Amino acid sequence: MTDEESIRVASEAARRNVRGSLGSRSFHPRDAEMLVFDAAGQRAHAVEIWHAARAIGEEGNKSARAELRRRYGGRAPGVGWNGWVLVLAAICAALALVMSTGFRVPAENLEGVVVALSVAATVLIAMTLVGAAALTLGRGAAIVASAALVALAALATVQDRAADLQRQTADRLGPELAAAIVRIRTAASAEAPVSPHGLDLARYDDAVPAGGVIISDFADPRVWLPRALADKL
């Protein structure tokens, strides 16, 4: 699978299959990488990564829902438009940091990155609280802070477990196979047009490790956060 001719043939197959699927609204980045693994004859690896990554998101959803029920009796916290702006300022900023950096560094450095991003996210929450005080939201400020912390705690846990899964994936695939899959995926994605629904696969370049698209897609809070929080994204 790692010889040049096999990579060329697999790249052509992946490119063809990805292009043929872009029109579907149910086609996600994780599906594209699954097609890449398929083309490389490595579907078993992809299925294993898929189930493990989905389980991480499902566990994040479960823990966040449990915490929301504990704090709000299972009812979505209502803090008004201004309040949710502050919640999203913290969540989206933390997400941007984690998702743009956490899966674009060598696996052996991910632990340090996760720690650094956790610290940065804490600072973002503190800034959000200052903004809440400045807007004199009163009791709403406490709800904003509480809801943001629920989301952030779940996000940190999911990203930490996703980083662990990425390390495990790198170990299972080995450097040669992982590099081949990245080459095939990059070839298939680089020439893929933006889908009618706005899906742009070209952003998943060769800096994203093999399996990283499936893992990061399932780790996206918009996929697994409870509706009470995800609907605000």
Residue-wise pLDDT for 213-227, tens only, equals 999 999 888 788 766
Task: Please check the confidence at residue 203 and state whether its pLDDT lies above 50.
Answer: yes
Question: For the chain, how many residues are written?
Answer: 233
**CB 17 within 8 Å of CB 35:** yes
Q: What is the CB-side half-sphere exposure of residue 167 using CA atoms within 13 A?
A: 13
Q: What is the DSSP letter of 207?
A: T
**CB 31 within 8 Å of CB 49:** no
Q: Of 43 and 61, which is predicted with more confidence?
A: 43
- What average pLDDT does range 193-198 have in this prediction? 85
- What average pLDDT does range 176-195 have in this prediction? 92
**CB 158 within 8 Å of CB 56:** yes
Vertex 19, ends 13 and 23: CA angle to 5°? Answer: 145
Q: What is the DSSP letter of 150?
A: H
**Among the listed residues 212, 109, 102, the one whose alpha carbon sits nearest the alpha carbon of residue 159:** 102
Percent of the chain with pLDDT over 90: 40
Map tokens 């780790």 to a residue: 219
- What average pLDDT does range 195-211 have in this prediction? 90
Q: Of 203 and 35, which is predicted with more confidence?
A: 35
- The identity of residue 143, as a single letter, is I
CA distances from 129 to 30, 91, 135, 169 (A): 35, 13, 10, 38
**Among the listed residues 62, 76, 204, the one whose alpha carbon sits nearest the alpha carbon of residue 146:** 76
Separation of alpha carbons 38 and 125, rounded Å: 41
- The identity of residue 225, as a single letter, is L
The Cβ of residue 164 has, within 10 Å, a number of other Cβ atoms equal to 17
Residue 51, both tokens: 């189930």
Map tokens 């979505």 to a residue: 76
- pLDDT number for residue 220: 86
- The identity of residue 101, as a single letter, is T
Map tokens 């956490």 to a residue: 102
**CB 89 within 8 Å of CB 128:** yes
- pLDDT number for residue 63: 83
